Structure 1
Amino acid sequence: MVHAIQVHTPGGPDVLQWEEVTVPPPGPGEVQVRHTAIGVNFIDVYFRNGLYKAGTSPFVPGNEGAGIVTAVGPGVEGFHEGDRVAYGAALGSYSEIRNAPAAQLVHLPDAIDDRTAAAMMLKGLTARYLVRRTHQIKPGEVILLHAAAGGVGQILTQWAKHLGATVIGTVGSPEKAEMARANGADHVILYREENFVQRVKEITSGKLCDVVYDGIGQATYPASLDCLRPLGLFVSFGNASGPIRDFDLLTLSQKGSLFATRPTLNTFVSKREELVGGANELFEAVLSGAVKIPVHQVFALKDARRAHEELEGRATSGSTLLMP
């Protein structure tokens, strides 16, 4: 008997249903994985509430997980029963057992445990493309990072500091401010109590930031643009408060010929060599100690609804796991 969380109709956390499912043998190009740990991310909320389309109904949400290979489908090379694997961009992880595309899996180093792997694949690969591909952070640059105590935020802060940046982070509480500082943030702004644009101007003596990393969306736009120096880069990589509507390109010219981008992880891992290269760079950063992966919340898989309630209620920090 295999169980999974399924969504029959898009909606709030209450649509996450714990149900018995049938998992067939893996098909061509697929690997069957028994999950040992599953990551929770805001993209899971976007699929659950219908902002992103799953393509099937019902569907199993979740994009990140780690586990053991239990079967290998026709045509698959490089994976064998018993291998430890992980992934960060394959819809369907809220399940005890699943079939996943082999092209989206990577082998885990012995020194990285399953919980750490499930907590870092999506978030770590996201942080990696943000600081190494979307913009290659250079020593001395100043960045503003919204939600600095979140899952991506804590990893990105550490990586950016490792690369020599000055990190200004926004958070929602004094407790999260301490977390951001512990991960290397040079300056922390309590956005509920302070005007973050004014504080950025004060912190930088009016010089503003080279890059703004914004995973919040609606609530921080267009104010994030006012934190950028001329020719600065606005990176909108998430919609935690809702998607940005009516983006005005003319505003970019008026605020200093700014650049803007809306990247997504899938683009940066769409080719096998890019996924493996990115994962190896992430593993190296973690194994060297430059980046630590914080797991602050753990729920049983059947309690995914409660995990989503806390995630959307801004009650979480760092990474959240579901345990089968």
Structure 2
Amino acid sequence: MRAIQIGEFGGPEVLRLVEVEAPEPGPGEVSVDVQYVGINFADLQARSVGYRVPSLPFVPGLELSGVVRAVGEGVEGLTVGQPVAAITQGGAYADVAVVSAATVFAIPEGVDMRTAATLPTVLPTAYALVHTVGRLQGGESVLVQAAAGGVGTVVGQVAKLAGAGAVYGVVSSESKAEFARKVGYDDAFLTATFEEDVRRATGGRGVDLVLDPVGGETLRRGLESLAIFGRMVSYGNASGEAPWQIGQPELYPRGRSIAGFSILGLAAGAPEVLHEIAAAAFGLVTTGRVDLPITAEFALTEVAEAHRLMESRTSTGKLVLAVNP
């Protein structure tokens, strides 16, 4: 079978197409004939700096859709030939992937395979950020960093459905700001000026909830954009900056709080909770209340081009690989 493999860390050029034996599922696992793969920023970090890479060579890819090929010992509720979506700990950039049965989801009725590849990480993440971790209350205001990206595109819609009074996005360019407004944001601000823009938009009050996958200096500035008793959820460090330390001086005076979230951490440590969140989140798509905009599709052999596009920070929405559509 075909697989995209990295044997060293570096730029998109280290992604190599190789022929390998199709993997077989072990106990508690299933193998999947892959149709589509969702591309995530974490894939770029795996390729470039070894994020969540246990050893080399390594096949990247964290979410997929396809059909169950074989079922390992002890697996119940999944059958050969069943259409599924799944979160993996790597291995999705291939014709066949082996995944833990605990992080496999039946594809909801009416969702096509292409869209299904974007479900496992994006939608549960967006739902958890708003409801489970962010605990958004009706009428509260939200500020979303990277608002034109895969999660950002969806989380603004989820926040609106949850009754947010105002949802603001932060993006890196005017074209992305226009995209964010089209997908439902009340307004979108540029990274360079978002603190001043938040103060203007809220009459100096600040926002109730900040959702941040960027980290570093952007996270610090986002914390300063919070209203009294405001909350922040950090769910990534796309900036690559050293983690910023937050303590009593930043939190105590205005009663602010900060939490963290990782969909991959939840998949590895509490898959039963992930399934509960995913069940609620998937319903937003099947009822048509949330749109998952796929803005670019690449063949498996074009994966380096897909990584270059995402790395350029000019892409919007979700990118997918069509492995065997």
Please classify the TM superposition score into its range, dividing by the shorter chain length.
over 0.9
1:266 aligns with 2:264: yes
The verdict on how the C-alpha distance between 1:53 and 1:119 changes in structure 2, with shifts beyond 3 A counting, is closer
1:171 aligns with 2:171: yes
3-state SS of paired residue (2:118)? helix
Greater alpha carbon shift after TM alignment, 47-56 vs 14-23: 47-56
What does 1:198-217 align with in structure 2 at a 5 Å threshold?
198-217=196-215
The verdict on how the C-alpha distance between 1:202 and 1:67 changes in structure 2, with shifts beyond 3 A counting, is same
Greater alpha carbon shift after TM alignment, 89-98 vs 313-322: 89-98
Structure 1: how far apart are the matches of 2:244 and 2:184?
35
Structure 2: how far apart are the matches of 1:84 and 1:176?
34
1:113 aligns with 2:78: no
- The corresponding residue for 2:189 is 189
Shift of 1:219: 4.6
Shift of 1:20: 1.0
Structure 2: how far apart are the matches of 1:32 and 1:68?
9
What does 1:36-115 align with in structure 2 at a 5 Å threshold?
36-50=35-49, 52-115=51-114
What does 1:172-321 align with in structure 2 at a 5 Å threshold?
172-192=172-192, 195-253=193-251, 256-269=254-267, 270-321=269-320
Give the residue type in structure 2 aligned to 1:252: E
Deviations 1:160-205, CA, capped at 9 Å, x for gaps: 011111101112223222221122111211235xx11011000000
Structure 2: how far apart are the matches of 1:170 and 1:53?
27
Give the residue type in structure 2 aligned to 1:86: A
Shift of 1:101: 1.2
Structure 2: how far apart are the matches of 1:299 and 1:139?
39
Q: Where in structure 1 are there 5+ consecutive unaligned residues?
A: none
Deviations 1:225-280, CA, capped at 9 Å, x for gaps: 11011221121111222144341313423652321122211343443432322222
Structure 2: how far apart are the matches of 1:246 and 1:168?
23
3-state SS of paired residue (1:222)? helix
Greater alpha carbon shift after TM alignment, 220-229 vs 242-251: 242-251
The verdict on how the C-alpha distance between 1:303 and 1:273 changes in structure 2, with shifts beyond 3 A counting, is same
Structure 2: how far apart are the matches of 1:223 and 1:167?
18
Structure 2: how far apart are the matches of 1:9 and 1:309?
17
Partners of 1:89 and 1:265 within 8 A in 2: no
1:9 aligns with 2:3: no
Give the residue type in structure 2 aligned to 1:127: A
3-state SS of paired residue (1:314)? coil
Structure 1: how far apart are the matches of 2:280 and 2:181?
24
Structure 2: how far apart are the matches of 1:250 and 1:276?
35
The RMSD of aligned alpha carbons is 1.6
Deviations 1:87-141, CA, capped at 9 Å, x for gaps: 1343211111111111110111231111111023211111111111111211110
Structure 1: how far apart are the matches of 2:160 and 2:219?
25
State TM-score, norm by structure 1.
Answer: 0.94
The verdict on how the C-alpha distance between 1:219 and 1:303 changes in structure 2, with shifts beyond 3 A counting, is farther
Partners of 1:69 and 1:84 within 8 A in 2: yes
Shift of 1:50: 2.4
3-state SS of paired residue (1:18)? strand
Give the residue type in structure 1 aligned to 2:63: E
Structure 1: how far apart are the matches of 2:76 and 2:51?
31
Greater alpha carbon shift after TM alignment, 228-237 vs 249-258: 249-258
Deviating beyond 4 angstroms after TM superposition, the runs of 4 or more aligned structure 1 residues are: none
- The corresponding residue for 1:126 is 125
Greater alpha carbon shift after TM alignment, 124-133 vs 258-267: 258-267
